[in-house]
Chains A and B, each alone.
Chain A
Amino acid sequence: MRRLIYLLPIAAFMALAGYFVVSLSRDPSVLPSAMINQPTPAFALAGLEGQPGLARDEFQGQVVLINFFASWCVPCRSEHPLLMRLAAELKAPVYGIDYKDKPEDAARFLSELGNPYGRIGADRDGRVGIDFGVYGVPETYVIDKSGRIRLRHVGPLTPADVTRELAPLVKELQKS
């Protein structure tokens, strides 16, 4: 029994090594979000070039998707076809917030690739982004009927993210 104490350092080493192995596959650029389950920050943004804008109080009581994007953002381009599909297939409105962008550039971006957004707010100085805790575009948020942020996705969405996480969550939130 006393001999077992000599195995303790080995056990401790194995535990540490196991933790490091698991941590290797973690992406350190994905940060924990402080905004999960918090109420959506209040905002009211003007639209792009004469189109209606986007304000938080307009979509209360609905499950919505909010996508931060910008015409200058390369990963946003790769994510775009998926957003087009979501807008058609997901039974929830998809809204866009154009982050630190020139309205004319955003308009060109959308006319080139298509517009998946039911509404777009132009966050020209990035303050609404800071209120959401955004640190890079694209970021996607799912907001529930009570106006709380339930999901935050940093970086471009992939089809796997949608089928595994986003679509089931939206469905579940709409039932409640």
Chain B
Amino acid sequence: MRAILLATMMALGAASALAVEPGERLADPALEARARALGAELRCLVCQNQSIDDSNADLAHDLRVLIRERLSAGDSDAQVLQFLVRRYGDFILLRPPVKPGTYLLWFGPFAVLALGALAAALYLRRSRRAPQQAPAPLSPDERRRLQKLLAEDQG
């Protein structure tokens, strides 16, 4: 009984996460699957951290319909994306494209990691090459002070 309840709740939860309305769906399951894949990649420009498949915004609805129209008209996935990027810019893509302007974004973290590794390697090599010298013996003055401190401690 509890398992059934849990399953129902999970199914309801999954359904509400998707904003794609039944009326928007295409009859052809293959085309609809492509539309879903595209919709998950596209940013809703009104509520910027949601994909258009997750968003209930009016514009997201219009874009979902537009994608399905273009797919039905025979556009490839790349053509649909290009159509939208021409109008809204790269910002509409949830995954930023790899191009000279975004090299810093994509490769910056790895460059910082490599720099850190280089610094660590240099430091380790230097400390290994210069073995630790025995510390200089205490001067008579220091010895006397040490004795005094130790005596204080014990006393």
Chain A interface (Cβ within 8 Å of chain B)? 28-29, 31-35, 100, 125-127, 130-133, 135-136
Contacts and interface: CB of A to CB of B under 8 A. Distances in A.
17 contacts: A28-B48, A29-B48, A31-B88, A31-B91, A32-B89, A33-B89, A34-B86, A34-B90, A35-B87, A127-B62, A127-B66, A130-B63, A130-B66, A133-B87, A133-B88, A135-B45, A135-B88
Interface of B: 45-46, 48, 58-59, 62-63, 66, 85-91
A126 B63 CA distance: 10
B45 A31 contact: yes
A172 B117 CA distance: 54
A131 B88 CA distance: 9
Contacts of B86: 34
B88 to A, nearest CB: 5
Contacts of A32: 89, 91
Contacts, number: 40
| CB-based closest 3 A-B pairs | A34-B89, A135-B45, A133-B87
A6 B85 CA distance: 44
B86 to A, nearest CB: 7
A31 B48 CA distance: 10
Contacts of B89: 31-34, 133
